[in-house]
C-alpha cells in the first residue's frame, strides 16, 4: 500500500525499494551498504543509465527519524527520475551521463521508533553507552571536528554525538560507501526538515569555504528554482551563519572528503507544522525540491 503522497512506514519503504529495483533494472539497482544498530539492512538505490559513469551525486534521506518528509522526498525523486526518463530531455541527459546514489532512509531504527513509539524521536536507537538514555544524533556523529561545536557528549541530549566519530553503524555505512566511490561523487545532498533552507559548509566554523561564492550562487539558484513553482521562499547560505554552528554534520564531512558541492536541504515548513508536515503538502514539497536537485545536477554535469 505504498504511496508517494502519504508517509510510508519502514515495511512499506522496504518493499518499495525491492520492487522499484526489480521493475526498473535498466535504470535502478539496489545496493546494501550496511546494517543499522538493530540489524536492519540499509539500502542504497543507484539510479542512472551508465554502469561506470564518471560523475555521481550522493543523496541521503532520513538521518533524523522524525523528519518524515525527508524519506518521502527520496522516494519521490526515484519515482520521478524513472517516470520522466525518456520524456524529459533534461532528466534523460542527466541519467544518461551520471548516477545518483540515493539512500532512501538512513536512520531506519529511529524511523521505526517514530512510527511505533515516539513520533518525535530524532536519533538512532543505539544503546551502546552505559547511560540509560538511548540514541545518537547521526548528524553529529561524522568525523569533522566531532564533538566540539554545539554537540553534546551527554547520551540523554538530542544532539548527543556518540562515543566517538562514526561510532554508529548507520554513519559508518554512509561514510564507507562514499569513501569507496569518492572518485565519482561530485556532489553530496542531505535532506532534512524543517525551516526551508538550502545550506552549505561550513557548519563547524564561521570561516568561508574556498569555493564559497560558487556554492552561494548554486544555493541561490536552487532556492530560486524552488520558489519558481509555488513561491515558497527558502533561505540559503553557509550553515553556521544561516542556521547555527554545529560540528560532526554530514555535509561538512562530505566537503572535507573532497566533495566540493555539498548541500543540506531543510524542507517545508517554517514551523506551522514542524515535523508534522501534512501529507497534503508532500507532493508540492517534493516537486519544488526536485527542481532544485535537477538544477544542481545540471551544473555538476556541465560545469565540473
Partner 1 sequence: FDSAKVFRVKPQNEKQVNFMRNLATVIQPIDFWYPDSALQIVNQMEVDFLVSADQTENVEALLKDNNIHYEILFQNLQEDIDKQLDNKRNSTC
Catalytic residues: 266
Which C-beta is closer to partner 1: that of 120 or that of 230?
120
Which C-beta is closer to partner 1: that of 221 or that of 274?
274
- Binding of residue 132 to partner 1 (CB under 8 A): no
Cell numbers placing 162: 556518540
Which C-beta is closer to partner 1: that of 213 or that of 241?
241
- Binding of residue 119 to partner 1 (CB under 8 A): yes
Angle at alpha carbon of residue 302, lines to 300 and 304, rounded to 5°: 55
Strand order in the sheet with 197-200: 28-35, 41-47, 98-103, 55-61, 185-193, 261-267, 197-200, 235-238
Which C-beta is closer to partner 1: that of 117 or that of 302?
117
- Binding of residue 126 to partner 1 (CB under 8 A): no
Q: Which of 50, 279, 287, 298 binds partner 1 (CB under 8 A)?
A: 279
Q: Which of 38, 88, 143, 158 binds partner 1 (CB under 8 A)?
A: 158
- Binding of residue 148 to partner 1 (CB under 8 A): no
Q: Which of these segments, 25-33, 150-158, 183-191, 222-230, binds partner 1 (CB under 8 A)?
A: 150-158
Min dist. Cβ of residue 117 to partner 1 (A): 12
- Binding of residue 276 to partner 1 (CB under 8 A): yes
Q: Which of 61, 102, 159, 222 binds partner 1 (CB under 8 A)?
A: 159
Q: Which of 60, 80, 109, 137 binds partner 1 (CB under 8 A)?
A: 137
- Binding of residue 69 to partner 1 (CB under 8 A): no
Which C-beta is closer to partner 1: that of 7 or that of 41?
7
Min dist. Cβ of residue 278 to partner 1 (A): 7
- Binding of residue 195 to partner 1 (CB under 8 A): yes
Min dist. Cβ of residue 120 to partner 1 (A): 6
Q: What is the 3-state secondary structure (H, E, C) of the chain?
A: CCCCCCCCCHHHHHHHHHHHHHHCCCCEEEEEEEECCCCCEEEEEEECCCCCCCEEEEEEECCCCCCCHHHHHHHHHHHHHHHHCCCCHHHHHHHHHEEEEEECCCCHHHHHHHHHCCCCCCCCCCCCCCCCCCCCCHHHCCCCCCCCCCCECCCCCCCECCCCCCCCHHHHHHHHHHHHCCCCEEEEEEEEECCCEEEECCCCCCCCCCCHHHHHHHHHHHHHHHHHHHCCCCEEEEHHHHCCCCCCCHHHHHHHCCCCEEEEEEECCCCCCCCCCCHHHHHHHHHHHHHHHHHHHHHHHHHC
Min dist. Cβ of residue 202 to partner 1 (A): 15
- Binding of residue 194 to partner 1 (CB under 8 A): yes
Dihedral of CA atoms 271, 171, 260, 295 in degrees, nearest 10, equals -50
Print the binding letters for residues 233-262 with partner 1: x by CB under 8 A, - otherwise. Answer: ----------xxxx----------------
Residues that bind partner 1 (CB under 8 A): 1, 3, 6-7, 119-120, 122, 137, 150, 152, 157-159, 194-195, 243-246, 271-272, 274-276, 278-279
Amino acid at each position: 500500500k505504498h504511496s508517494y503522497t502519504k508517509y510510508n512506514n519502514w515495511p512499506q519503504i522496504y518493499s518499495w525499494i525491492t520492487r522499484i529495483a526489480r521493475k526498473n533494472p535498466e535504470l535502478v539497482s539496489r545496493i546494501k551498504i550496511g546494517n543499522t544498530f538493530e540489524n536492519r539492512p540499509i539500502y542504497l538505490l543507484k539510479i542512472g543509465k551508465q554502469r561506470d559513469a564518471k560523475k555521481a551525486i550522493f543523496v541521503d534521506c532520513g538521518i533524523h527519524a522524525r523528519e518524515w518528509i525527508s524519506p518521502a522526498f527520496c522516494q519521490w525523486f526515484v519515482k520521478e527520475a524513472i517516470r520522466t526518463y525518456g520524456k524529459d530531455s533534461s532528466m534523460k541527459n542527466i541519467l544518461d551521463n551520471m548516477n545518483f546514489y540515493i539512500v532512501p532512509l538512513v536512520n531506519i531504527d529511529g524511523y521505526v521508533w517514530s512510527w511505533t513509539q515516539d513520533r518525535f524521536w530524532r536519533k538512532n536507537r543505539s544503546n551502546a553507552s552505559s547511560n540509560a538514555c538511548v540514541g545518537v544524533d547521526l548528524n553529529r556523529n561524522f568525523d569533522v571536528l566531532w564533538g566540539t561545536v554545539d554537540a553534546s557528549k551527554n547520551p540523554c541530549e538530542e544532539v548527543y554525538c556518540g562515543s566517538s566519530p562514526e561510532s554508529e553503524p548507520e554513519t559508518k555505512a554512509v561514510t564507507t560507501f562514499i569513501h569507496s566511490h569518492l572518485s565519482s561523487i561530485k556532489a553530496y545532498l542531505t535532506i532534512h526538515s524543517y525551516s526551508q533552507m538550502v545550506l552549505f559548509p561550513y557548519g563547524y566554523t564561521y570561516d568561508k569555504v574556498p569555493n564559497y561564492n560558487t556554492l552561494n550562487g548554486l544555493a541561490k539558484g536552487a532556492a530560486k528554482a524552488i520558489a519558481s513553482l509555488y513561491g515558497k521562499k527558502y533561505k540559503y547560505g553557509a550553515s553556521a551563519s544561516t542556521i547555527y554552528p554545529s560540528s560532526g554534520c554530514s555535509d561538512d564531512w562530505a566537503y572535507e572528503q573532497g566533495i566540493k558541492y555539498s548541500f543540506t536541504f531543510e524542507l517545508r515548513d517554517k514551523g506551522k507544522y514542524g515535523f508534522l508536515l501534512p501529507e497534503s503538502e508532500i507532493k508540492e514539497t517534493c516537486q519544488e525540491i526536485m527542481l532544485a536537485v535537477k538544477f544542481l545536477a545540471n551544473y555538476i554535469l556541465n560545469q565540473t
